[in-house]
Structure 1
Amino acid sequence: MKKYIYILSMCTAAMFATSCVGDLDQYPHEEITSESVYTSLQNYKSVLGKIYVSMVTKGQEKDGNEDLSSNRGEDYMRCYFNLQEVGTDEVAYTWLSGENLTDISNLSWDANDPWVADMYYRIYYNIALCNEFLRNATDEKISSFTESERNEIVHYRAEARFMRALFYYHAMDLFRNIPFVTENDPVGSYIPPRYMAKDMFGYIESELKAIENDLLSKDECPYGRASKGAAYTLLAKLYLNAQTYIGETRYNECVAACQSAIGQGYSLEIDVNNDYTIDCYRRLFNADNHLRTNEIIFTLPVDANTTVSWGSSTYMVCGAVSQTSATQNPADYGVTKGWGSMRICKTVTDLFEDNDKRGKFYETGQTDKVTSIEDASTGYLSTKWTNLKDNGEAASNTDQSGVNTDYPLFRLADVYLMYAEATARGGNGDMATAVGYVNDLRERAFGDNSQNITETDLTGNNFRFFLDERARELYWECTRRTDLIRFDLFTKAEYLWEFKGGASDGTSVESKYNYYPIPSAELTANPNLKNEEY
């Protein structure tokens, strides 16, 4: 049984957040008031729990009482995965028309796309939850609590600020110039200003730095909550992509943030006896991955009894197993049946050497190249995510309850690769250390040092290595779109994959598709917003 923390135990806490954007119909209206909720330490825990769990569930029940009444109504992480992965070379999506994902896959969306709208409103709903929590967690509001309770709430407050920074980071990365609201702004009819990406970048950076001392360290932080390591990792992501967001490089800062994250004491998941025949990489994405706190820096707990949804990691596991294959056995991945939603493009699978254990693909009966979006037998199937425990048993009945696999949002492997890339691009890191970090990952992948790289492989502007290595290590972990944009390859003809732009062999698209548009309904509701190129 997983050691599920309190943050999941009371996720039916009051949801009293008022809209912070124009479309009020996207938000719940509850009679419960903050005065009746913020009366005990346990209630503060419960509301903090709601902020966390809102990333992996649709609402308060398995198939009802949803947080938002919107186009699809899916959970945050299913929306995020679709916007980060479906339009890239890492995913060929089978049921485009049925899921309304055609425009996402083809890089042809507009301001009326339902998935774009759902992601936008999910982000701002979660920001509203954070703002309401913070309005009620000021020093004045908690002055009547005992000293130990106040100290605990200070940690909660820092975590709520981290989560808000994370949501704003996602909003900036996806939409660029966005509405901005905090706990200090009025609720109700308030129309928030538009923050340009440069302003948003500065805000996120300052927030993450401001909360550093109030977040718990790796060893102090309960499972599933945000620690100092999570804040350092998010800072590193912000800095690595600074050229995209603000037109400036911040590689020195990225190196420093990575060093701070690594300094928390994380380590790669490897066998303690250095037995490389054990597939430690697979353990990071199975139903016992809550045991991998050595490598997983920030995770989103998922449990088939308490946090059931048909998105998040259930989407990752069931969506990758075929509905039509005559040979693939769903039980081999801990599921009762597959959904047949997703395959992976040949441009990515070709990046893997035969003995790279990270390349987890089902090939029998499948062509290597995606020659048809509708034909699920074209393109390999990814088997990276499973609902199996370490002993090989299924962790839950996915047909009824979804999976038991947690969603690892930040991993040490990503930090290693960010450090190495930032150093190679001119940051003041140590190249020998950078090479060592990359080789640590490759030795786990290959079982020996036969595929180790040297410093020469990372110098001379050979940055493409990092794009490819990140695909090998992090595919289907919601990094690909951001990575392709950082390398200026997401929309251009210099790099094509199957059905990029809707063409069978791929084609370039307009540069405006490097970000998503603010939904049309928001443009109507908030005159401060606009989409320059849409």
Structure 2
Amino acid sequence: MLIAVVVSSCTKLDEEPFGRLSPETYYKTEAEANSSVAGIYQSFQQVQGVSAPWTISVEGTDEFIVPGRASGGWFDQNNIDIMQHNVKADNQAVSNAWNNIFSEIGIANAVIESLNASPSVGSFKTQIAEARALRAYGYFYAMDFWGNLPLVTVGKIEQNNLPGTTARADIFKFVESEMLAAVNDLPAANSVNKATYYPRLTKEAVYAALAMVYLNAEVYTGTARWNDAVTMCNNVINTGAFGLESNVVESFKALNEGKTKEVIFAFSIDPARSSGGNAYMLYTQPALDQQRYSLPFAPANGFSTQKEALDRYEVQDRRRNLLQFGPQFKLDGSPLVDSKGVQLNLVNCVSFTAAADNEGYRVLKYVPEGVTWSGSNGNTDYVQTRYSDILLTKAEALFRSGTTAEALTLVNQVRTRSNATTLTSLTLKNLEEERAREFIWEGHRRRDMIRFGTYFNTTWTFKTSVTPAFRSIYPIPLTQIATNPKLKQNTGY
């Protein structure tokens, strides 16, 4: 695995035969160490890319659907089962997410092990901290999706010593301790040249991750950690290194990579340099967007949203402009029409299995402005954490611990930026709905709905019954249990 990381991360090995690569012969310089740590970042991109794990973090919520089309495309029972909260242990999307997350964890393990074995280990404190934090981030997602799971920290697993299932609360402790340890050896955002250091982890990026971990601690461990969530948010806020942009869309433009004050952590995307690709436009947009945005490909008319998500926004809320619904127009204001002269009119989706091509509203989060395309892959960086999340996380943690006035001020900061009406009071429902408006399709909704309870006790267009509590986590894939009989399936599956 180490060799694979090295080969995929470097372009020059000075004629070193692959079979002789080792920590002693390779990890001698900072550049060499950075090249392999970059492989962990690249593997971790999928948590916000348009594939599992991202898809299973938004599917099954009231903001995301993948309807089968009457024209024959997109029907997938795996998606339907997730959307209807009827997931089984053989669900391929869930299995893909497991494979992607544990691949990232495995790469991180191999790199950490090799860096620690290098004679130059004393020079690699930052790289080891990055690798530990990224591995912990991977375990955070795994803990969130599956609860109890194998905890592995070695680069190679022996077949006669397979790992068993570790309790979710113990995974939580591992994630927390690893992130806290990593912070000590990471630079602060104000101490680096953002133009050259971006998009690597800073202390503040890990504090932001810990804030998310603590916000959900009661779900994971049974014990609330609201004060710790506030502390982590303050660690970011008090630096003064971040702030809100004038418009939320500024964080999702290719031209703003490394320049926006709102993005705390993002993944570098550049398909022209074999550094991932942003396929958001391909999967989410209607085919006619090829002519609207002069794209070099026709989008595949897949991922959609629904009336419940659109109805959350006030008409004047600028975030509503990210949703496409109703009659569609070109950028010059003329109607967006098909080859027969019929204007595209996006309507609410009413069919799971035979939706018309114009059914389903769309979310244009990663705008095509300034994008360089390699086929259908753009070079816009995937955004993992924004400053608005810090403000709303602190607001919720404060509110839940009884400090309502400051919480209200923080929520109104986010609302005012998008021209939403200022709130005069605050409820838990306000907090949940504000997060839904602000972070639509950013991978938060499932986790938020579970924390607020709405994942279970509310219904929407395609989820018509109450969800049993055991479905707050996904089943461990059958393929994993077949490979490792020491793993114990989650209750209810």
Fold match by TM threshold 0.5: yes
Match of 1:503 in 2: none
Equivalence map 1:468-479=2 (5 Å): 468-479=433-444
Match of 1:397 in 2: 373
Q: Shift of residue 100 of structure 1? A: 4.3
Match of 1:509 in 2: 467
Q: Which of 349, 352, 370 is the equivalent residue of 1:370?
A: 349
Match of 1:441 in 2: 414
Whether 1:345 aligns to 2:301 is: no
Q: Counterpart of 1:232 in 2: which secondary structure?
A: helix
- Residues 484-528 of structure 1: per-residue CA shift (max 9 Å, x gap): 100112133xx212212xxxxx33333322111111122123233
Greater helix share, 1 or 2? 2
Whether 1:203 aligns to 2:160 is: no
Output the CA distance in 1 between the equivalents of 2:66 and 2:296: 20
Output the CA distance in 1 between the equivalents of 2:297 and 2:118: 48
Match of 1:178 in 2: 149
Q: Counterpart of 2:318 in 1: which secondary structure?
A: coil
Specify the code of the residue in structure 2 equivalent to 1:435.
L
Specify the code of the residue in structure 1 equivalent to 2:108.
C
Q: Is the 8 A contact 1:333 1:386 kept in 2?
A: no
Match of 1:357 in 2: 318
Q: Counterpart of 1:424 in 2: which secondary structure?
A: helix
Q: Counterpart of 1:195 in 2: which secondary structure?
A: coil
Q: Counterpart of 1:343 in 2: which secondary structure?
A: coil
Output the CA distance in 2 between the equivalents of 1:258 and 1:116: 31
Output the CA distance in 2 between the equivalents of 1:84 and 1:135: 30
Equivalence map 1:189-268=2 (5 Å): 189-221=160-192, 222-268=197-243
Q: Shift of residue 337 of structure 1? A: 2.2
Whether 1:12 aligns to 2:1 is: no
Output the CA distance in 1 between the equivalents of 2:181 and 2:406: 29
- Residues 268-321 of structure 1: per-residue CA shift (max 9 Å, x gap): 3435xxxxxxxx2111112223144411111011123124656xx32x222221
Whether 1:288 aligns to 2:255 is: yes
- Structure 2: gaps (5+ residues): 12-17, 69-73, 328-343
Output the CA distance in 1 between the equivalents of 2:291 and 2:298: 5
Which stretch of structure 1 is more off in the superposition, 90-99 or 523-532? Answer: 90-99
Q: Which of 515, 521, 524 is the equivalent residue of 2:482?
A: 524
Output the CA distance in 1 between the equivalents of 2:296 and 2:82: 27
Match of 1:452 in 2: 422
Q: Shift of residue 120 of structure 1? A: 0.7
Equivalence map 1:273-312=2 (5 Å): 280-307=247-274, 309=276
Shift of the 445–335 alpha-carbon distance from structure 1 to 2, 3 Å rule, reads: farther
Specify the code of the residue in structure 1 equivalent to 2:63.
E
Specify the code of the residue in structure 2 equivalent to 1:321.
Q
Shift of the 438–75 alpha-carbon distance from structure 1 to 2, 3 Å rule, reads: closer
Q: Is the 8 A contact 1:91 1:345 kept in 2?
A: yes
Match of 1:533 in 2: 492
Q: Is the 8 A contact 1:300 1:409 kept in 2?
A: yes
Q: Is the 8 A contact 1:304 1:401 kept in 2?
A: no
Q: Which of 59, 78, 85 is the equivalent residue of 2:51?
A: 78
Specify the code of the residue in structure 2 equivalent to 1:453.
L
Q: Which of 265, 269, 283 is the equivalent residue of 1:319?
A: 283
Q: Is the 8 A contact 1:123 1:171 kept in 2?
A: yes
Q: Is the 8 A contact 2:43 2:103 kept in 1?
A: no
Shift of the 9–216 alpha-carbon distance from structure 1 to 2, 3 Å rule, reads: farther
Shift of the 144–479 alpha-carbon distance from structure 1 to 2, 3 Å rule, reads: closer
Specify the code of the residue in structure 1 equivalent to 2:397.
A
Match of 1:26 in 2: none
Q: Is the 8 A contact 1:251 1:425 kept in 2?
A: yes
Q: What TM-score do you get using the length of structure 1 for normalisation?
A: 0.78
Q: Is the 8 A contact 1:175 1:518 kept in 2?
A: yes
Specify the code of the residue in structure 2 equivalent to 1:508.
V
Q: Counterpart of 2:319 in 1: which secondary structure?
A: coil
Q: Counterpart of 1:91 in 2: which secondary structure?
A: coil
Match of 1:51 in 2: 40
Q: Is the 8 A contact 1:87 1:106 kept in 2?
A: yes
Match of 1:424 in 2: 399
Q: Counterpart of 1:376 in 2: which secondary structure?
A: coil
Q: Shift of residue 122 of structure 1? A: 1.3
Output the CA distance in 1 between the equivalents of 2:254 and 2:100: 26
Q: Shift of residue 54 of structure 1? A: 1.3
Which stretch of structure 1 is more off in the superposition, 300-309 or 405-414? Answer: 300-309
What is the root-mean-square deviation of aligned Cα atoms in Å?
A: 2.7
Q: Counterpart of 1:298 in 2: which secondary structure?
A: strand
Output the CA distance in 1 between the equivalents of 2:256 and 2:310: 24
Q: Is the 8 A contact 1:51 1:130 kept in 2?
A: yes
Match of 1:411 in 2: 386
Output the CA distance in 2 between the equivalents of 1:209 and 1:182: 17
Whether 1:130 aligns to 2:108 is: yes
Output the CA distance in 1 between the equivalents of 2:213 and 2:390: 12
Q: Counterpart of 1:202 in 2: which secondary structure?
A: helix
Specify the code of the residue in structure 2 equivalent to 1:490.
Y
Match of 2:330 in 1: none
Q: Is the 8 A contact 1:335 1:387 kept in 2?
A: no
Q: Is the 8 A contact 1:55 1:76 kept in 2?
A: no
Q: Is the 8 A contact 1:369 1:379 kept in 2?
A: yes
Specify the code of the residue in structure 1 equivalent to 2:441.
W
- Residues 221-251 of structure 1: per-residue CA shift (max 9 Å, x gap): 5101111111111111111111211111111
Q: Counterpart of 2:284 in 1: which secondary structure?
A: coil
Match of 2:331 in 1: none
Shift of the 342–214 alpha-carbon distance from structure 1 to 2, 3 Å rule, reads: same
Output the CA distance in 2 between the equivalents of 1:512 and 1:167: 22
Specify the code of the residue in structure 1 equivalent to 2:308.
T
Q: What TM-score do you get using the length of structure 2 for normalisation?
A: 0.85
Q: Counterpart of 2:265 in 1: which secondary structure?
A: strand
Q: Shift of residue 441 of structure 1? A: 1.2
Shift of the 160–523 alpha-carbon distance from structure 1 to 2, 3 Å rule, reads: same
Task: Tell me how many residue pairs correspond in the alignment.
Answer: 452
Q: Which of 118, 128, 146 is the equivalent residue of 1:157?
A: 128
Shift of the 333–157 alpha-carbon distance from structure 1 to 2, 3 Å rule, reads: farther
Q: Is the 8 A contact 1:111 1:520 kept in 2?
A: yes
Q: Shift of residue 12 of structure 1? A: 3.3
Q: Is the 8 A contact 1:10 1:49 kept in 2?
A: no
